[in-house]
A and B are shown apart, each in its own frame.
Chain A
Amino acid sequence: MSDLTPTQRTEILERHLRAHGHLDPDDVDAAIAAAESASGDDASPALGARVVARAWADPGFRARLVADPVTALSEYLALTVPIAVLADTPTLHHVIVCTLCSCYPSELLGEPPRWYKSFEYRSRVVREPRAVLAEFGMEIDPDVELRVHDSTAEQRYLVLPVRPRGTEGWDEERLAALVTRNCMIGTGRPLTP
């Protein structure tokens, strides 16, 4: 079977599952289409960005989000795994990884980018995070404490970045437009106004 392409192997697996009533092809097509056009209400970086923007704008929500994320996030989605929210400060920066596979806060950010799942990221970021972050164009000041979180259990992590300067008085929608996927992983910073 090593001669078959992944496309052929997927087709064969799908055909077997369909033949025994375990898979509805229309459901597969619809689910792919829905995931590809995920909006802010679905699991996608847009949902994570809304949560981060609200935490920036609403100190009460921020406190609840950091202290008890599962409850604080329950108005957005029902989480089936625990999640921890890692709040950055001007002197503390968090980065997340899963060295053993590719665990990722998919409930909030959708599917991970390919680099997150790569052998390069998984092997290197625990050993030399500053070098890895430099490849994303990020300089981390030597005075800033750097914490790398390996997602070795079912708990997922979301980085809550520092709110950019010059955004005083902005509403959540405007703030959310500054929140990038990578800044919620720790490999980027929010956009600046």
Chain B
Amino acid sequence: MGGARLGESPSFETLRLLRRDDLAVDGVHDLGGMHGFGPLTIETDEPLFHEPWEGRVWRIRRAVIGRSTTIDRVRSTIEQMPPAQYLGASYYERWLWALERLATEQRLVESADPPPVVELPSPEIPTWTGRFQPGEHVRVRNPVTSGHTRVPRYLRRHVGRVERVAFAWPNPGESAENNAYGQPELVYTVAFSAAGLFGPGADHTLTADIGETDLEEP
């Protein structure tokens, strides 16, 4: 198979027209707790990349697209992939699908102007106190947001216990929508009884990191 010529290139103009401005929330990517996927395939002596193009996608994402986009913008783009396509694609195919759209959105395929580099938040431990304290019970809000969210469906409306104030980070929905990191909010590590989420057969504990705006009094 010969290399593709530019004349056969995907129409980046088409991608631009198809771009969705709404950020999908309840997508098929939200897999936690779903049934039916079957046993794992565990490879031994797994190579870093299974195909040469995967390494190239990995580098384009890190060195090019990742510099001018928030991670939330990238994730929300992947989450716009139609469900059947998402489930039929490999990890790097999903990345490629998103990179084509992000490169278009960032005008990297048509202009030599470098897009602004996104300034990263800092992983420092917050010094302020929040609405919730360790040991308190909290309920995960639903609906959590009208845009991109990092609150998995299997936790929504459930009550958990705050383990600790983990860190502070800009709200993912805002970072996705604005493609910029704003003011940080507190993020709590919240513990849930798996029996409460999945039934009495489950005897483990589940934790997730949830931002303050997605939590309420129980």
Q: Which A residues have a C-beta under 8 Å from some C-beta of B?
A: 1, 4-17, 20-23, 27-28, 31-32, 35-36, 68, 70, 79-84, 97, 99-102, 110-111, 113-115, 117-124, 126-130, 132, 135-136, 142, 145-155
B40 and A135 contact, CB distance less than 8 A: yes
Tell me whether A16 and B207 are in contact (CB under 8 A): no
Q: Which of A27, A128, A154 contacts B63 (CB 8 A)?
A: A27
CB distance from A22 to the nearest CB of B (A): 5
Given contacts A16-B108, A100-B150, A122-B31, list 16 more A-B pairs with CB under 8 A.
A10-B57, A10-B60, A12-B6, A13-B103, A15-B6, A21-B112, A28-B63, A36-B48, A80-B123, A82-B166, A84-B166, A99-B152, A126-B32, A127-B33, A146-B203, A153-B166
Q: Beyond A110-B48, A154-B169, is A99–B10 a contact (Cβ under 8 Å)?
A: no
Q: Across the A-B interface, give the 8 residue pairs with the lowest CB-CB distance, nearest first.
A: A99-B32, A1-B10, A153-B209, A8-B4, A32-B55, A16-B109, A146-B204, A82-B167
- Taking CB atoms, residues of chain B closer than 8 Å to A113 are 43, 46
- Given the known inter-chain contacts A20-B111, A120-B40, A150-B32, please indicate yes or no for A4 contacting B87, CB distance below 8 A: no
Given contacts A4-B8, A20-B110, A121-B40, contact A114 B205 (CB under 8 A): no
Count, chain B residues at interface, CB 8 A: 87
Q: Given contacts A110-B48, A126-B206, A152-B208, is CB(A28)–CB(B32) below 8 Å?
A: no
Q: Is the CB of A153 within 8 A of B187?
A: yes
A81 to B125, CA, bound (A): 11
